[in-house]
Amino acid sequence: MPSEDKVEERMLSRLRDTRMGKLFLHKKFAHYTWIGIFISILNIFLLWLLIDNFHIPTVISSTLVIAGTFVLRYVLFDSFKIL
């Protein structure tokens, strides 16, 4: 009976051989994922901060936050060579 390590290793190698596996196991995809999560959380936090705490109108706050995180996303993608 094969050990669990060999079974997991065989399954991982099969996943690497598939087209979707190559995409999802690529280092750029990991960076793309964590940057997306970071930007989403940052959007929520900054909107809460500007609207609820600083009482800046929603339209202005949303415009500032979305524009700022759009530029930040580009800078992060560029620095991690995702683009």
Q: What distance in Å separates the CA atoms of residue 81 and residue 83, rounded to the nearest whole number?
A: 6
Domain count, the chain: 1
Note the pLDDT of residue 39: 97
Global pTM reads 0.73
Q: Whole domain around residue 19: which residue ranges?
A: 4-79
Name the band, by pLDDT with cuts 50, 70 and 90, for residue 11: confident
Average confidence score pLDDT of the chain: 88
Name the band, by pLDDT with cuts 50, 70 and 90, for residue 2: low
Q: 16-30, 32-46, 67-81 — which is least confidently predicted?
A: 16-30
Amino acid present at 82: I
What is the token pair recorded at 78? 């560029």
Give the residue-averaged pLDDT of 19-38. Answer: 83
